[in-house]
Amino acid sequence: MTSSSERIEIQGLSRSFSGRAVVSDVSLQVAAGQVMCLLGPSGCGKSTTLRMIAGVETPDQGRILIDGQPVFDAGVNLPPEARGVGLMFQDFALFPHLTVAGNVAFGLVGDKATKLRRVEELLEKVGLSGFGSKHPHELSGGEQQRVALIRALAPKPRVMLMDEPFSGLDNRLRDGIRDATLEVLKAEGAAVLLVTHEPEEAMRMADEIALMRGGQIVQRGAPYNIYNAPVDRAAAAFFSDINVIRGRSTGALTETPFGAFLTPGHLDGGEVDIVIRPQHLKIDFDRAGRGPNPTVSEGSPARGIVQRARYLGHASLVEFRMEFDGSILTASVPGVFLPKPDTVLWLMIRRDRCYVFPAA
């Protein structure tokens, strides 16, 4: 069943603590050269999953194969150092008595000149050239984290397990370090399993995202698919603010103040949530009490009154109180659009950009 390109393969992995299931029947595969992000809210079991693969936590059930070889299975439980994986954990620690260069070179084999070259090359990649002779206590937290990162990358592991490796870095620095890390890992063709609770980080890093919730993987796919075809309302809400319009599906059609939505496959007479991201609400001006004409792709407009508008740099966020029921909807508009509070505007919803789920 295991294909040779799978570097990490886990099957039916489960773990409970004091009778509470923290990881339930998790299966996934990561191929050589692939970055898989395990994404989910705090406490959903991401670190526990990674720790079991690393061998520092013992599963109650399941199998773990690295490079096609069982490292955890019936009668098999290899210690971490025998699993052949590189680790970068949330709570990394540098060796305090070694210099930066000593730390980075720690897992390297070969002659001194080769090691030095590798160390210098990696230090440069993360903006720490010239830091080699310093000791960890002379570095800032973010600098220490970068050293820990390249220490893990240095031996060119075929499998890399990373748990929130960029969490301590400030925003500006983080993007550069992420890109440099990806570059190194891709160049080595490593299989990477990266844990994060930040959707933007997963979208930026991953070839594939495994979305986790309550100890289970609820959806898997490329970032584009996960973002644009969420499996449920919570999966949609994990990636951005969402707007929800509640309706009742009758004969595969749901009537709303924004016109009718096609809702095939939903229980006749059942409540549905029509979910729309802020950037997919369309705003139009009021023309003496009238809005734009209804269209097939956008339905009918509904009137809203601006509550407040904020400028975020790349976009403006406008909050509306809707006339039809007093509910609040939020629209995001590229660039600068800052209508005054109490301005009357009309909102429309692109049919191809909304998701319909059974009411939560």
- The distance of closest approach from Cβ of residue 198 to Mg ion in the complex, given in angstroms and rounded to an integer, is 12
* Binding residue (CB under 6 A) for ligand ATP from 35, 44, 94, 185: 44
Q: Which residues of 65-91 are buried (b: 16+ CB within 10 A; e: fewer)?
A: bbbeebbbeeeeebeeeebebbbbbee
- For position 324 contacting ligand ATP by CB under 6 A, the verdict is no
- The distance of closest approach from Cβ of residue 24 to ligand ATP in the complex, given in angstroms and rounded to an integer, is 11
By C-beta, is 45 or 168 nearer to ligand ATP? 45
- For position 47 contacting ligand ATP by CB under 6 A, the verdict is yes
- Residue 290: DSSP 8-state: B
**Contact 319/232 with Cβ under 8 angstroms?**
no
Radius of gyration of the chain (CA): 25
Dmax of the chain from CA atoms? 80
* Binding residue (CB under 5 A) for Mg ion from 14, 29, 34, 47: 47
* Stretch of 42-50, 145-153, 173-181, 275-283 lying at the interface with ligand ATP (CB under 6 A): 42-50
Nearest to 192 by CA among 165, 170, 173: 165
Selection from Mg ion, ligand ATP, none that 125 binds (CB < 5 to 8 A by kind) is none
Starting at the edge strand found earlier in the chain, the sheet holding 35-39 runs: 86-88, 159-163, 191-196, 35-39, 208-213, 216-221
By C-beta, is 5 or 16 nearer to ligand ATP? 16
Determine the residue type at 150: I
* Binding residue (CB under 6 A) for ligand ATP from 197, 266, 280, 303: 197
Cα separation, 64 vs 68, in Å, equals 9
Which residue is at the shortest CB distance from ligand ATP?
Answer: 47
* Binding residue (CB under 6 A) for ligand ATP from 9, 10, 46, 223: 46
Tokens of 121: 């090359």
> Which alpha helices (DSSP H) does 171-222 contain, by range?
171-188, 199-205
- For position 48 contacting Mg ion by CB under 5 A, the verdict is no
- The distance of closest approach from Cβ of residue 217 to ligand ATP in the complex, given in angstroms and rounded to an integer, is 12
- For position 256 contacting ligand ATP by CB under 6 A, the verdict is no
Please give the residue ranges that form the binding site for ligand ATP (CB under 6 A). 17, 22, 40, 42-48, 197
Please give the residue ranges that form the binding site for Mg ion (CB under 5 A). 47
